[in-house]
Amino acid sequence: MSLSEITSRIHAAETAAGRTIGSTQLIAVSKVQPNERVATVLAEGHRLFGENKVQEAEGKWPMFRETYADAQVHLIGPLQTNKVKNAVALFDAIHAVDRPKLAQKLAAEIQAQGRSPDMFIQVNTGEEEQKAGVIPADADQFIADCLALDLPIKGLMVIPPVDEEPSLHFALLRKIALRNGLTGLSMGMSSDFERAVALGATHVRVGSAIFGERDYS
Ligand SMILES: *Cc1c(COP(=O)(O)O)cnc(C)c1O
């Protein structure tokens, strides 16, 4: 799908849901994609991208920003505490804040660098063993703890279980955000971004639908 096709589908979903057109931000997930494909999307005028690894992002975004100084990059994957310094230095937003030790490290690094990326707390709504994120029962407390640390928490993020209807998870995420006074909702990927927009996503993270399949070989 072309970038403009994705954008029109997002706008159609916003209209159908009675939302303002343009109220959903499209994060083009460029992880693993060849630089030529990323360069094409930048040349088309898109400026918001997502990466899931700190090191991989460091290998391309300082370079792209030499040409496109206004390019924004969000970290959408899990963050290890030993990468916090680099992450705070590079990213415009961090979507997977999910444990006290990470929250404390982020708060300390924001102080040290005077640079403050937007943050989203990942919620493991499916309560999957292998998945990052705070479980729903612990979410309210963890959100409060992060706000007490003065972290710039903008909202919540979810990756639903692959084999379940994502809308149930999007709705749960929205409910947790609402009761905690958070407005940002990072949810929806290539296969379900329209359903996420219908349920109020402020950020959809779309990779393969824009760039084509990722080649991990
Ligand atoms: C890779 C990734 C995406 C994009 O997935 P697609 O199915 O290619 O759209 C979205 N969110 C996260 C957290 C990812 O790691």
Query: Among 76, 123, 187, which is best to mutate for testing ligand 1, by the most ligand atoms less than 8 A from CB?
Result: 76
Percent with pLDDT over 70 in the chain: 100
Write out the CATH class of domain 3-211: alpha beta
pLDDT tens-digit series, residues 115-158: 999 999 999 999 999 999 999 999 999 999 999 999 999 999 99
pTM confidence score: 0.97
CA–centroid distance for 133 within its chain:
13
Question: For residue 216, what pLDDT band results from cuts at 50, 70 and 90?
Answer: confident
Taking the centre of ligand 1 as the mean of its atom positions, its distance from the CA of residue 205, in whole angstroms, is 6
Whether the per-residue pLDDT at 8 is higher than 90: the answer is yes
155 to 9, 104, 169, 201, 217: CA distances (angstroms): 23, 18, 15, 10, 34
151 contacts 105 by C-beta, under 8 angstroms = no
Whether the per-residue pLDDT at 84 is higher than 90: the answer is yes
Question: Secondary structure of the chain: what % helix, strand, coil (to 5)?
Answer: 45, 15, 40
Residue whose CA lies nearest to ligand 1 atom number 6: 207
* Number of CB atoms found within 10 A of residue 3's CB: 18
Rounded to whole angstroms, how far apart are CA atoms 109 and 116? 9
Residue whose CA lies nearest to ligand 1 atom number 5: 207
Domain spans, the chain? 3-211
pLDDT tens-digit series, residues 36-72: 999 999 999 999 999 999 999 999 999 999 999 999 9
Question: For residue 111, what pLDDT band results from cuts at 50, 70 and 90?
Answer: very high
Average pLDDT of the residues in 72-83? 98
Percent with pLDDT over 90 in the chain: 96
Across the chain, mean pLDDT equals 97
Whether the per-residue pLDDT at 192 is higher than 90: the answer is yes
Taking the centre of ligand 1 as the mean of its atom positions, its distance from the CA of residue 191, in whole angstroms, is 10
Name all residues whose Cβ lies below 6 A of ligand 1: 29, 31, 52, 76-77, 159, 189-190, 205-209
Q: What integer pLDDT is reported at residue 115 of this predicted model?
A: 97
Tell which atom from ligand 1 comes closest to the C-alpha of 190: 9
